[in-house]
């Protein structure tokens, strides 16, 4: 989930300023590309704000972070970028502080959890733009045929997966721990098991904590080792491949987000949704995800950037984006609107999880290296003959090295 706004220099001799916006594409095709959304917002803004133009460049998720980094390295930083992480740019003093850009009312309207996650050393640099939480999805039709019940504990997950396997379901529980986005799947299971990437102080990484080791030992012994995760080894299974299989009706259970829910239901899958259970069924925080808007100082367009951001974060625009891409709004007023509108009933379970969810440690510059280590190695924690403690300890050492370089 990311879109990026990149801004360049001023316009012609009239004194106009052109803000260049580089945005990642949340759409799945040209028919629903984010280019259309941003063009609409930009043209509408320009009609009521003469003297400020917005030039939009939408890029794929695979390219946008790298492209922005290259722009910065080339001395052509964007005015605005909405991408997956802001901490490196904040640490390098490239960004405006949020309170130098928007009004107190706009800043206070961001959901508190997301505002805190956008801070480095108590100053906010990252503005949340889009948010999501994760729930456990299950195929109601396959569950009914297998005589399985929606899980409330980890033992329930194992039991349901066994029944699904007996009925020939290819992926009783799809466990994507491949390189694409396994840092997300990892965090979901860690939280459900009472652990997480960080310790209780949120200051240090705790990747090889006893709770995390117990979680991956359970996955290895009770799902992977019993042949309940399908024909592709979890370490080789990417998230999109798992999602595609769910949409085809080949998956009994997997962790999913709102966009997958919409795609599956359009394909005729009757989707059930529950929070990912804990071992004993007690509630645990779900994983939250946010994408970030940031403003670069290089071109000196602080006032114009702030004016545009005030417009971007009006409820009508926040809700329009959420409506189009089944994304959770990042402001309190838009969230309240969604919660009271029956048209958004399908998103209410995700919305309910957001205030108590936990996000990646995006405020730490070490997180990018830690995330890459997880994506590269975590599949090995559940592989046959592996030792989860050894794998997690290896990732933990890389995390400690990355943290020491911050």
pLDDT digits (tens, 9 = 90+) for 269-285: 999 999 999 999 999 99
Q: Which pLDDT belongs to residue 10? A: 35
- Alpha carbon distances (Å) from 135 to 73, 184, 192, 274, 347: 38, 12, 11, 6, 11
Residue-wise pLDDT tens digits, 106-120: 999 999 999 999 999
- Give the residue with greater pLDDT, 167 vs 181: 167
**Closest among 322, 236, 286 to 135, alpha carbons compared:** 286
Residue 346 is encoded by which pair of tokens?
Answer: 């399908």
Residue 386 is encoded by which pair of tokens?
Answer: 């592996």
- Alpha carbon distances (Å) from 368 to 235, 252, 362, 374: 20, 32, 8, 10
Q: Quick check: 263 pLDDT over 80?
A: yes
Which architecture does CATH list for 135-285+366-404?
A: 3-Layer(aba) Sandwich (3.40)
Q: Which pLDDT belongs to residue 15? A: 57
HSE, CB side, 13 Å, CA atoms: give it for residue 28.
9
Portion of the chain with pLDDT greater than 90, in percent: 83
Q: Which pLDDT belongs to residue 200? A: 83
Residue 22 is encoded by which pair of tokens?
Answer: 């580089």
Q: Quick check: 245 pLDDT over 50?
A: yes
Residue-wise pLDDT tens digits, 211-221: 999 999 999 99
- Residues 258-272 as b/e (b if ≥16 CB within 10 A, e otherwise) read bbbbebbeeeebebe
Comparing 15-19, 28-32, 363-367, 372-376, the range with the smallest average pLDDT is 28-32
Average pLDDT rounded to a whole number, residues 179-201: 94
| Cα–Cα dist 43/49, whole Å | 10
Domain 17-132+288-356 sits in which CATH superfamily?
A: Periplasmic binding protein-like II (3.40.190.10)
Contact between 59 and 24 (Cβ < 8 Å): yes
Q: Quick check: 195 pLDDT over 50?
A: yes
Within 8 A by CB and 6+ apart from 234, the residues are 175, 176, 177, 178, 224, 379, 382
Within 8 A by CB and 6+ apart from 155, the residues are 279
Burial of 99 (0-12, 13-18, 19+ CB in 10 A): exposed
Portion of the chain with pLDDT greater than 70, in percent: 96
Question: What are the two backbone dihedrals, phi and then psi, of residue 328, each rounded to the nearest 5 degrees?
Answer: -80, 140
The model's confidence at residue 6, banded by pLDDT at 50, 70 and 90, is very low
Q: Which pLDDT belongs to residue 4? A: 33
Average pLDDT rounded to a whole number, residues 398-406: 93
Burial of 162 (0-12, 13-18, 19+ CB in 10 A): middle
Residue-wise pLDDT tens digits, 337-393: 999 999 999 999 999 999 889 999 999 999 989 999 999 999 999 999 999 999 999
Residue 69 is encoded by which pair of tokens?
Answer: 């980094």
Q: Quick check: 188 pLDDT over 60?
A: yes
Domains of the chain by residue range: 17-132+288-356, 135-285+366-404
Q: Quick check: 2 pLDDT over 70?
A: no
| Cα–Cα dist 137/160, whole Å | 13
Question: 17-132+288-356 and 135-285+366-404 share one CATH topology?
Answer: yes
Q: Which pLDDT belongs to residue 244? A: 95
């Amino acid at each position: 989930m990311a879109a990026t706004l990149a801004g360049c220099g001023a316009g012609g001799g009239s004194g106009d300023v052109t803000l260049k916006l580089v945005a990642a594409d949340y759409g799945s095709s040209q028919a629903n590309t984010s280019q259309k959304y941003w063009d609409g917002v930009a043209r509408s803004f320009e009609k009521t704000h003469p003297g400020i133009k917005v030039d939009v460049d939408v890029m794929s998720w695979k390219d946008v972070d790298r492209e922005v980094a290259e722009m910065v390295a080339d001395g052509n930083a964007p005015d605005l970028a909405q991408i997956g992480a802001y901490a490196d740019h904040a640490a390098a003093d490239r960004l405006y502080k949020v309170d130098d850009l928007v009004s107190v009312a706009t800043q206070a309207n961001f959901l508190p959890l997301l505002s805190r996650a956008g801070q480095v050393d108590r100053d906010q640099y990252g503005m949340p733009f889009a948010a999501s939480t994760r729930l456990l999805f299950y195929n109601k039709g396959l569950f009914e045929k297998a005589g399985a019940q929606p899980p409330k504990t980890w033992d329930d997950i194992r039991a349901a997966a066994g029944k699904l396997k007996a009925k020939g379901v290819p992926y009783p529980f799809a466990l994507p721990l491949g390189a694409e986005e396994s840092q997300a799947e990892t965090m979901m299971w860690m939280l459900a098991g009472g652990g997480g990437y960080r310790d209780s102080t949120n200051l240090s990484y705790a990747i090889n904590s006893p709770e995390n080791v117990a979680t991956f030992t359970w996955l290895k012994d009770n799902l992977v080792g019993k042949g309940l995760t399908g024909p592709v080894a979890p370490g080789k299974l990417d998230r999109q491949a798992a999602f595609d299989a769910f949409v085809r009706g080949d998956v009994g259970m997997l962790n999913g987000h709102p966009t997958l829910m919409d795609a599956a239901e359009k394909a005729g899958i009757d989707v059930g949704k529950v929070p990912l259970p804990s071992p004993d069924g007690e509630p645990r925080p779900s994983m939250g995800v946010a994408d970030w808007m940031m403003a670069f100082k290089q071109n000196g367009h602080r006032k114009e950037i702030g004016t545009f951001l005030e417009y971007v974060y009006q409820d009508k625009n926040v809700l329009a984006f959420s409506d189009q891409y089944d994304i959770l709004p990042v402001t309190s007023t838009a969230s309240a609107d969604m919660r009271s509108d029956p048209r958004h009933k399908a998103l209410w379970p995700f919305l309910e999880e957001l205030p108590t969810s936990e996000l990646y440690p995006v405020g730490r510059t070490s997180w990018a290296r830690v995330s890459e280590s997880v994506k590269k190695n975590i599949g090995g924690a559940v592989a046959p003959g592996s030792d989860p403690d050894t794998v997690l300890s290896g990732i933990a050492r890389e995390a400690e090295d990355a943290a020491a370089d911050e």
